[in-house]
Amino acid sequence: MKDFKSSNVLKLVCALVAVATLYGCAGTTGRATGIEKMYVLYCGEGSAPDKSRWTPGVKENENKPITLSNSCYLIKHAKGWMLWETGYAEALLGMMPKGFPTPVLHWVWKNPKTLTQQLADIGLTPAQVNFVGFSHAHPDHIGNGSLFSTATLYIQESEYNFYIDPKGKPPGPPANWQKLRENPTVKLKGDTDVFGDGSVTIITSTGHTPGHQSLLVKLPNSGAIMLTGDAVHFRDNWDTPRAPVQNFDKEASIKSVEKLRGIVAANNARVWINHDDAQTATLKMSPAYYD
């Protein structure tokens, strides 16, 4: 009986430590041991004629044109290179000078600078990326996935089953993602400390898609940064949570934003919203980096 109780106490302690690491309790927000720096890479952009589809209830946004930025994030850790998001497919570069029109939401996609070239600018090839993940499997995030077929893929199991599995709903063209099925893959079922040191944590934030996920990065000097993915698309949707009309589960979307806001507050983290063009314009872009 004593051994049984001791075992339960140990499990409880381990669980509390895990929670403290994720939510930034005392003693966990200092320098993370393995992470070194993070690059922000340009991964295309989209334009659409009606912002109100992303901001339901905001009348002044009806028929208001918008530009949506699209970034990828390259993280250097002692255990290797991790790429978060893979952006629009490089094939867009040669398709149309004015962009690639899509039937969904009347987007026009552009990608005049390839991800491969941006990696080369800092001395890397896609084969040297050890870990890859993305917030979700829409074409503007998974678009260059096949370039990283040797990397270990981190993805929520629900997202994999819905989009990547042969029985799923495949991401639309011109996304280049099929080789991801051959990757060594970690199918997640919740929040995950990628490197085991609290420096890079995948946060489940379902709603936009069945297995949407965000990323909390704790840099040595720049501090904590939350990469929201498409949990929100603009700052005003962060301040006043709204679920875009195209989201998979609107109720889950709102709950996920509230969850992320709690984690951001606990970690005193900055919030980087992937598609917020105004915010993206203020960030240092690769080959500059955050450390």
pLDDT bucket at 152, cuts 50 / 70 / 90:
very high
Residue 269 in contact with residue 199, Cβ under 8 Å? no
CATH number of 43's domain: 3.60.15.10
Residue 218 in contact with residue 199, Cβ under 8 Å? yes
DSSP states of 102-170 as a string? Answer: -SSTT-EEE--S-HHHHHHHTT--GGG--EEE-S--SHHHHTTGGGGTTSEEEEEHHHIIIIISTTS-P
pLDDT tens digits along 188-219: 999 999 999 999 999 999 999 999 999 999 99
Q: Hey, which residues does 225 pair with through a beta bridge? A: 217, 270
The answer to whether residue 14 scores a pLDDT higher than 60 is no
pLDDT at residue 5 in the model: 36
Residue-number span of the structural domain to which 229 is assigned: 34-280
pTM of the model: 0.88
Residue 214 in contact with residue 205, Cβ under 8 Å? yes
Nearest Cα residue to 60 out of 52, 49, 72: 52
Q: Is residue 1 a part of any domain in this protein?
A: no
Q: Is residue 29 a part of any domain in this protein?
A: no
26-35, 50-59, 149-158: lowest mean pLDDT where?
26-35
Q: Is residue 2 a part of any domain in this protein?
A: no
Distance CA 51, CA 26 (A): 40
Count of the separate structural domains present in the chain: 1
DSSP states of 255-278 as a string? Answer: HHHHHHHHHHHHHT-EEE-TTBHH
16 or 196: which carries more pLDDT confidence? 196
155 or 97: which carries more pLDDT confidence? 155
Distance CA 55, CA 150 (A): 38
